[in-house]
């Protein structure tokens, strides 16, 4: 059985005021540990930028313009992107990642996988909004990507 677990980890954002946490320019500083387990064996265990991940997952679940979900992050080198891919195979989805060291592809029924991903998205949204004290759904993926690119250009 496939499961997704996450929890916030200590991050530079902990030092910021609630007002500063709510600024999109600081969103990349909020990290969470994401675990993907299959039959209680951990196959993926990485810290991720939770808001970046949530925005991409939410965008995919709401539109699913592409059958495949790919989580690209600015936190790792290009050779490790996408960090997580969820690809359709018949009536199932396969999860792959450079972080999954096993040759086993994690496969689950499409309907069940989508239910689990919706729950993950909703749980993450609740944790994020509690932390930043702001409705995260007002942000769009494209607007956050533009902000992040500007931050990187300055650095």
Q: What is the pLDDT of residue 145?
A: 61
Question: For residues 64 and 104, what is the distance between their CA atoms, to the nearest angstrom?
Answer: 25
Q: What is the pLDDT of residue 101?
A: 62
Question: For residues 71 and 83, what is the distance between their CA atoms, to the nearest angstrom?
Answer: 6
Q: What is the pLDDT of residue 65?
A: 60
Write down the domain spans for the chain.
2-145
Positions in the chain whose pLDDT score sits under 70: 64-65, 77, 79-80, 99, 101-106, 140-155
Q: What is the pLDDT of residue 50?
A: 94
Q: What is the pLDDT of residue 137?
A: 80
Sign of CA dihedral 102, 42, 7, 60: positive
Structure tokens at 148: 């992040």
Structure tokens at 119: 């729950």
Q: What is the pLDDT of residue 106?
A: 64
Question: For residues 91 and 50, what is the distance between their CA atoms, to the nearest angstrom?
Answer: 28
């Amino acid at each position: 059985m496939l499961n997704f677990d996450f929890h916030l980890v200590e991050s530079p954002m902990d030092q910021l005021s609630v007002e500063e946490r709510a600024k999109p320019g600081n969103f990349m500083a909020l990290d969470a540990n994401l675990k993907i387990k299959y039959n209680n064996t951990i196959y993926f265990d990485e810290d991720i930028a939770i808001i970046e991940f949530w925005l991409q997952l939410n965008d995919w679940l709401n539109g699913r313009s592409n059958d495949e979900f790919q989580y690209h992050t600015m936190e790792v080198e290009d050779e490790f992107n996408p960090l997580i891919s969820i690809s359709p195979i018949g009536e199932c989805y396969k999860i792959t990642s450079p972080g999954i060291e096993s040759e086993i592809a994690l496969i689950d029924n499409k309907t069940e996988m989508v239910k689990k991903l919706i729950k993950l998205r909703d749980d993450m949204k609740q944790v994020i909004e509690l932390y930043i004290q702001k409705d995260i759904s007002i942000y769009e993926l494209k607007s956050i990507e533009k902000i992040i690119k500007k931050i990187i250009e300055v650095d």
